[in-house]
Amino acid sequence: MSGGLILSIESSCDETAIAVIEDGWRIRSNVVASQVALHAPSGGIVPEVAARAHLRWIVPVLNDAWDDADAAWDDIEAIAVTYGPGLAGSLLVGVNFAKALAWVHDRPLIGVNHLEGHIYAAWLRDPGEADRADPIFPLVALVVSGGHTFLAEMRDHLTYRLLGSTLDDAAGEAFDKVGRLLGLGYPGGPAIGRAAESAIRHDRVFPRAWLGDSFDLSFSGLKTAARRIIAEARADAGHASDPDAALPAEVVADLAWGFQDAVVDVLVAKTIRAAEETGARSIVMGGGVAANGELRSRLTGEAEARGIPLIVPRPALCTDNGAMIGAAGARRFAAGDRSGLDLDARPSLPLAVR
């Protein structure tokens, strides 16, 4: 790919993020303004609040990304922006900001699918990081985020064959809901990961939805079971009649471990089987839940045992960021893709599978 710089913008959910990417994969700068503190009091993302926060932060984030990259507009070859899937109001801010920059600076605009961004995070290198091998095709990609969960096969760049996806909740959604039931606040995913580390009893009390030989996934049964198991634990602790009473920390830790173990079991087993059945030469994983320590170490162990290289970005590149949009955008730019200044936000944009 060419050696120019790509300026990339991500605002699909609750992070305002802008990056500058060099050569298609080297991070020059990557700035993320998180809205977690803003949404914590309501226990979840309020779309209007998120869109307003993007408007408030997008210019300061650009300024920081620009300063960190030490770049000039002459070096910027194109502007990449997430145009879906995501929250309509949030997407609109990034898309219109990118269109304005593209018009003012007369640069090509590239609309990027957020899910493709999570996959292409596997190609990113940090500033100063030694070069290493790229993921090898054919590969299997596991994307586990707050809104999406699927397994896809890639035989080449930018081409996807869907192997399976969630029939109900996304993995991150399940983490967030069970985190709330356990009184761990928002977002539940990282909180469950932390709580599970101090678990003492490692009981396998949560169900696994194997769905036969299918590569589809399901987390709604697990969520229902979690509601029942947590209610029973509450009754055991003498809080049956008070749904707001906090459970003892050691009980929360054991339940967090049990839930996480059930999710990780299914994700790891299906990913490994998908890789074996398709003859994959590598595996990549991305999306917010890929920041989970237990999932990372279990998938690493199973892939190593079979001699299949696994590429998982560091946790901050698994959760939403601008650099991943730059990596996917650079690949699309190199393939000749250009979007017009009439690019629109597409809240339900699917991954272009064949």
Positions in the binding site for Zn ion (CB under 5 A): 145, 320
Q: Is 289 an interacting residue with respect to ligand KG4 (CB under 6 A)? A: yes
Q: Which stretch binds ligand KG4 (CB under 6 A): 50-58, 172-180, 226-234, 297-305?
A: 172-180
What is the number of alpha carbons within 13 Å of residue 213 lying toward its C-beta?
1
* 183 DSSP 8-state letter: T
Q: Is 172 an interacting residue with respect to ligand KG4 (CB under 6 A)? A: yes
Among 24, 84, 117, 288, binds ligand KG4 (CB under 6 A): 288
- Tell me the one-letter amino acid at 200: I
Please state, in angstroms and rounded to a whole number, the distance separating the CA atoms of residues 112 and 106.
19
Among 24, 94, 135, 190, binds ligand KG4 (CB under 6 A): 190
Please state, in angstroms and rounded to a whole number, the distance separating the CA atoms of residues 88 and 284.
28
For ligand KG4, the closer of residues 5 and 17 by Cβ is 17
Q: Which stretch binds ligand KG4 (CB under 6 A): 130-138, 151-159, 188-196, 217-225?
A: 188-196
295: Cβ contacts below 8 Å, ≥ 6 apart: 144, 263, 264, 267, 268, 285, 289
Among 94, 187, 313, 322, binds ligand KG4 (CB under 6 A): 187
* 134 DSSP 8-state letter: P
Please state, in angstroms and rounded to a whole number, the distance separating the CA atoms of residues 56 and 50.
10
For ligand KG4, the closer of residues 116 and 176 by Cβ is 176
With CB cut-offs between 5 and 8 Å by kind, which of Zn ion, ligand KG4, none does residue 291 bind?
A: ligand KG4
- Least separation in angstroms between residue 92's CB and ligand KG4 is 17
With CB cut-offs between 5 and 8 Å by kind, which of Zn ion, ligand KG4, none does residue 110 bind?
A: none
- Least separation in angstroms between residue 84's CB and ligand KG4 is 11
Q: Is 258 an interacting residue with respect to ligand KG4 (CB under 6 A)? A: no
Across-strand partners of 113? 84
Please state, in angstroms and rounded to a whole number, the distance separating the CA atoms of residues 89 and 285.
28
Query: Is 150 in a helix, a strand, or coil?
Result: strand
Number of amino acids touching ligand KG4 (CB under 6 A): 19
- Least separation in angstroms between residue 166's CB and ligand KG4 is 12
Q: Which residues of 68-95 are buried (b: 16+ CB within 10 A; e: fewer)?
A: bbebeeeebbbbbbbbbbbbebbbbbbb
With CB cut-offs between 5 and 8 Å by kind, which of ligand KG4, Zn ion, none does residue 282 bind?
A: none
- x-marked contacts with ligand KG4 along 127-166 as a string, rule CB under 6 A: ------------------xxx-------------------
Please state, in angstroms and rounded to a whole number, the distance separating the CA atoms of residues 37 and 298.
30
What DSSP line would sit under 260-327, residue for residue?
A: HHHHHHHHHHHHHHHHHHHT-SEEEEESGGGG-HHHHHHHHHHHHHTT--EE---HHHHSS-HHHHHH
Q: Is 35 an interacting residue with respect to ligand KG4 (CB under 6 A)? A: no
Binding positions for ligand KG4, rule: CB under 6 A: 13, 145-147, 172, 175-176, 187-190, 193, 287-289, 291-292, 319-320
